Amino acid sequence: MPLTFNMLLRDEGIDPTNVRLLRHQQVSKTGLTPYAIWRDDPAELERYQSAQPSDRRHYFRGKYWAGFVVPPDGSTLFVGLYELFGYADVAPDWIDPLHRHTSAQIGRELDIYEYSRLPNFDRYSGCLKIAWGDGKRSWNQRAHQQEKSIVELTQAFKEPEFPGFTSFICNLGALPNIPASWIAALSAVRGVYLLTCPRTREQYVGSAYGASGFWARWQSYLATGHGGNEGLRSRDPSDYQISVLEVAGSGASANDVIAMENMWKAKLQSREMGLNRN
- Domains in the chain, start-ordered, CATH in brackets? 5-153 (no CATH), 165-268 (3.40.1440.10)
For 178, counting Cβ atoms within 10 Å of its Cβ (0-12 exposed, 13-18 middle, 19+ buried), the class is: buried
**Which residues sit opposite 170 in a β-bridge?**
242
pLDDT band, very low/low/confident/very high, at 105 (cuts 50, 70, 90):
low
Question: Average pLDDT of the chain?
Answer: 88
The 10s digit of each residue's pLDDT in 163-215 is 999 999 988 878 888 888 899 999 999 999 999 887 778 889 999 999 899 99
Question: CA angle 246-32-50, nearest 5°?
Answer: 145
The 10s digit of each residue's pLDDT in 209-246 is 998 999 999 988 877 655 556 556 555 556 788 999 99
CB half-sphere exposure, 124, CA atoms < 13 A: 25
Q: What sign has the CA pseudo-torsion 36, 40, 42, 43?
A: negative
